[in-house]
Amino acid sequence: MDMDTLWQEIGAVNAEYGISNHPLHQMIRDGSAGMEHIKGFAIQHYEMTIRDSGPYMAQGYISMSKVDEEGTKLIGENFAEEAMGLFSKTTGHCEQLHEFWEALGLPLDELRNAIASPAARAFNAYFWVLMSQKIRYSGALGLLEGEFATAAENMFQGLQAHYGLTPEQLRFFSTHIEADREHAETGKKLIARLLPEPPHRANFVAEARCAIELYRRAWDSMMP
């Protein structure tokens, strides 16, 4: 499989399973989502990536150090943003989601103790597998972050316009608009660097399909 074919295959998977047109964030943008939709987003997304993004990316840094020096630097930069908000000059992304939850007037323990869907837990497990066992294919996560940048922009606009929240209360979303666009570019760089041989490229398509489909199912589980 040459690189042009690889990108075509990735595009086809995104077109089938990607969340850029998912109804949830479109409903929030338009103001037709209820509080249960918004809570569903926060609970499932917390489980999928946010709670564990710092530790998982730290493991990714360790795993990548055995594979590729430049890739290790790229993973390290992602870790610094996820855990500490270093490049966006904000705070860690987990802390920002906590801020958003409390801005909804909800107790933080409710988010921390919520029982997430099987789909969200499955995606969380796959995130760990990529970071710990299949780091060569970790660029697949960048594909998801590129999609989430679009979702975050829609939700940021809708939550301001229709739900009475301020930009300060919505830092989680505004941060991800820019940060996840950057992380999507990091994912593309990792794909280009870590898949020099055709067998790796075919395997990557299989891993990317798994990641994108699991991500879509987790988003579907956000709907009441």
Structure tokens at 58: 């730290």
Residue 71, pLDDT > 90, answer yes
CATH number at residue 187: 1.20.910.10
Structural domain boundaries enclosing 196: 3-14+22-220
Distance from the first to the final alpha carbon of the chain: 41
Among candidate residues 41, 15, 51, the one with its CA nearest the CA of residue 223:
41
Q: What angle do CA 42, 47, 51 make, to 5 degrees?
A: 95
Q: For 162-208, how does the pLDDT look when each residue is reduced to its tens digit (9 = 90+)? A: 999 999 999 999 999 998 899 999 999 999 999 988 888 999 999 99
What's the rounded Cα separation, in Å, for the pair 32 and 163?
Answer: 10
Number of domains in the chain: 1
What's the rounded Cα separation, in Å, for the pair 185 and 46?
Answer: 23
What pLDDT sits at residue 213? 96
Q: What does the mean pLDDT of the chain come to?
A: 94
Q: For 40-65, how does the pLDDT look when each residue is reduced to its tens digit (9 = 90+)? A: 999 999 999 999 999 999 999 999 99
What pLDDT sits at residue 214? 97
